């Protein structure tokens, strides 16, 4: 696709027309996957470059179809996926080395290729290589090539970014352009499980500064826990679109879990009772699940998140998706231990508001147990306004406990025990029954360990 030219997409409010549009575009070689859902209908993407293209005019003349320029097409296609086959990076690197280091011997070249990182994800504007001890630019053989100037790392990484960029724009290769989609390279290292803020402490930049050095503080705690707006603005902010929903985060200070796309899609495809009811997200992060509930039409959403960088990403995401205009998402940068107090304050300030919490999201790994008593207190706080509330419990669980049903049984027993300890203090006339609704396997977390979401229906009676 030509530089600066953005493709046309078609917003279809009458979903019965989607297949016909897809076929018409396919017959002309102009269809681009995937079709996704937006607030105003299904969106069918194309490689048409002009709204005045004859086919664009023909399709948009049909009632219920609107043509528009889509400026985030690459973000949707690249959202956490490896766009290119591994061997293409190998072939690119071979070509680069033979052109820029013609005297390099075949044995040394072979060793470089043996330790060339191949696995990566694209989070515009960053290409993030997977953590590895074998295939890494930190390997001694690559460091030697850089030190002996067989390879100029700045030139190599710049051309690699151009190669991986959508359209493979050759004309950009000699430029260090900030306007292109991909501008930074980094290495992703594992999240420390014991860190409650889920911060990527060990991300290593390879090309381009992920944050302006001029705003860095001598006190790391200030930067991580109480950054100024100047510091927030100085970071690179990644942006992807999944299921038609935009998410934004700083790769230096917050993680992005691409595997959550399955659960986000499940929320969007299920739970019609989200619409016009309230939701509490006790571990909101950058809005992984918050945005799905808002897309489904949640009346009011209460989001709690400790990490200030995640909160900034959440707020940017609210604006990018247009959710900020509704003013119905209340974001609290503090411990979710304050959730009952904050919701109570909200009710005091809005005396005509009748609380209807239908869903409570508990999306924390490896365990969300800390939030279980809070969720139960929230259910008791709202009393009899709804007969059913669903807790979405995220957890890392061994496959054996999933297959024999012991995990589900133990959770139900534990929730009942927690409720009995809470009940005397508040709304003792309300009875809660915890019912196994569904266990969804989201992704493998480690050998024999699954990240699951366990839906527990809380039945409210008197």
pLDDT at 171 over 80: no
- The model's pLDDT over 380-412, given as tens digits with 9 standing for 90+, comes to 999 999 999 999 999 999 999 999 999 999 999
Q: Which residues of 434-461 are buried (b: 16+ CB within 10 A; e: fewer)?
A: beeeebbebeebeeeebbbbbbbbbebe
| β-pair type (8-12, 31-38) | unpaired
| pLDDT for position 87 | 52
Residue 75 has pLDDT above 60, yes or no: no
Domain locations in the chain?
Answer: 8-71, 86-184, 258-461
* Phi/psi of residue 111, nearest 5 degrees: -65, -40
Exposure b/e, 345-379, CB count within 10 A at least 16 = b:
eeeeeeeeeebbbbbbbbbbbeebeebbbbbbbbb
Is the pLDDT reported for residue 78 higher than 90? Answer: no
Do 263 and 453 form a contact (C-beta atoms < 8 A)? yes
pLDDT at 103: 86
Residue-level length of the chain: 462
Percentage of residues in the chain with pLDDT exceeding 90? 52
Predicted TM-score (pTM) of the model is 0.76
Name the E strands within 232-380.
Answer: 238-242, 245-249, 278-281, 300-304, 329-332, 357-362
Q: What does the pLDDT read at residue 295?
A: 94
Average pLDDT of span 16-44: 82
Domain 258-461: CATH class, spelled out: alpha beta
Say if residue 173's pLDDT is above 50. Answer: no
Q: How confident is the model at residue 68 (pLDDT cuts 50, 70, 90)?
A: confident
Is CATH 1.20.1530 what the domain over 8-71 is classified as, yes or no? no
CB 211 within 8 A of CB 4: no
- Give yes or no for a contact between 304 and 283, defined as CB atoms under 8 angstroms apart: yes
Tell me what the mean pLDDT of segment 162-168 comes to.
71
Q: pLDDT tens-digit profile of 6-18?
A: 688 899 988 889 8
Q: What is the pLDDT of residue 174?
A: 43
How high is the mean pLDDT of the chain?
86
> Does 365 score more than 80 pLDDT?
yes
Question: What average pLDDT score do residues 342-349 get?
Answer: 98
HEC secondary structure over 159-183: HHHHHHCCCCCHHHCCCCCCCCCCC
The residue ranking higher by pLDDT, 373 or 10, is: 373
Average pLDDT over residues 92-96: 90
Question: Between 188 and 148, where is the model more confident?
Answer: 148
**26-40, 99-113, 410-424, range with the lowest pLDDT:** 26-40
Q: What's the rounded Cα separation, in Å, for the pair 458 and 437? A: 10
Instruction: Give residue 426's pLDDT band: very low, low, confident or very high (50, 70, 90).
Output: low
- Range with the poorest average pLDDT among 41-45, 194-198, 363-367: 194-198
Q: Provide the pLDDT for residue 371.
A: 98
* pLDDT for res 335: 96
Instruction: Look at residue 276 in the predicted model and tell me its pLDDT.
Output: 96
Whether residue 292 has pLDDT greater than 70: yes
Residue 168: is its pLDDT beyond 50? no
Q: What is the pLDDT of residues 295-321, one digit of tens each?
A: 999 999 999 999 999 999 999 999 999
User: Got the DSSP string for 338-389?
Assistant: GHHHHHHHHHHH-TTPPP-EEEEEE--SSB-GGGHHHHHHHHHHHTTS-SEE
Confidence of residue 260 (pLDDT cuts 50, 70, 90): confident
């Amino acid at each position: 696709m030509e530089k600066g030219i953005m493709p046309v997409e078609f917003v279809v409010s009458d979903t019965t027309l989607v297949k016909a549009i897809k076929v018409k575009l396919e017959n002309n070689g102009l269809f681009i996957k995937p079709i996704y859902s937006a607030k105003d209908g299904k969106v069918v993407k194309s490689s048409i470059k002009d709204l005045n293209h004859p086919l664009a005019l023909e399709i948009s003349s049909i009632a219920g179809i609107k043509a528009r320029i889509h400026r985030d097409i690459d973000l949707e296609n690249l959202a956490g996926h490896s766009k290119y086959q591994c061997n293409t990076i190998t072939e690119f690197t071979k070509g680069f080395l033979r052109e820029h280091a013609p005297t390099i011997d075949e044995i040394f070249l072979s060793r470089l290729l043996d330790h060339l990182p191949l696995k990566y994800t694209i989070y515009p504007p960053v290409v993030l290589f997977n953590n590895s001890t074998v295939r890494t630019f930190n390997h001694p053989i690559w460091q030697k090539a850089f030190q002996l100037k067989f390879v100029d790392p700045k030139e190599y990484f710049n051309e690699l970014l151009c190669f991986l960029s959508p359209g493979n724009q050759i004309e950009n290769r000699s430029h260090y352009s900030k306007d292109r989609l991909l501008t930074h390279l980094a290495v992703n290292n594992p999240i420390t499980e014991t860190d409650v803020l889920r911060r990527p402490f060990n991300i290593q930049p390879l090309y381009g500064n992920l944050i302006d050095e001029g705003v860095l503080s001598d006190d790391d705690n200030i930067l991580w826990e109480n950054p100024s707006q100047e510091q927030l603005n100085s970071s690179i902010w990644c942006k992807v679109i999944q299921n038609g929903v935009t998410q934004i985060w700083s790769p230096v200070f917050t993680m992005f879990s691409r595997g959550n796309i399955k659960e986000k899609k499940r929320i969007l495809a299920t739970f019609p009772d989200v619409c016009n009811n309230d939701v509490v997200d006790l571990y909101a992060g950058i809005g992984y699940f918050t945005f799905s509930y808002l897309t489904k039409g949640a009346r009011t959403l209460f989001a709690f998140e400790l990490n200030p960088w995640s909160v900034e990403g959440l707020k940017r995401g609210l604006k990018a998706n247009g959710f900020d205009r509704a003013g119905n998402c209340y974001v609290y940068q503090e411990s979710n231990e304050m959730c009952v107090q904050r919701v109570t304050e909200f009710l005091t300030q809005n005396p005509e508001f009748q609380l209807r919490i239908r869903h409570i999201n508990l999306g924390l790994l490896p365990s969300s147990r800390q939030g279980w008593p809070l969720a139960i207190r929230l259910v008791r706080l709202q009393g009899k306004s709804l007969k059913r509330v669903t807790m979405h419990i995220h957890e890392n669980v061994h496959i054996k406990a999933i297959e024999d049903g012991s995990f589900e049984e133990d959770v139900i027993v534990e929730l009942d025990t927690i409720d009995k300890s809470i009940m005397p203090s508040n709304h003792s006339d309300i009875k809660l029954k915890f019912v196994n609704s569904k266990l969804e396997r989201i992704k493998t977390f480690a050998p024999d360990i699954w990240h699951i979401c366990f839906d527990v229906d809380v039945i409210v009676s008197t």
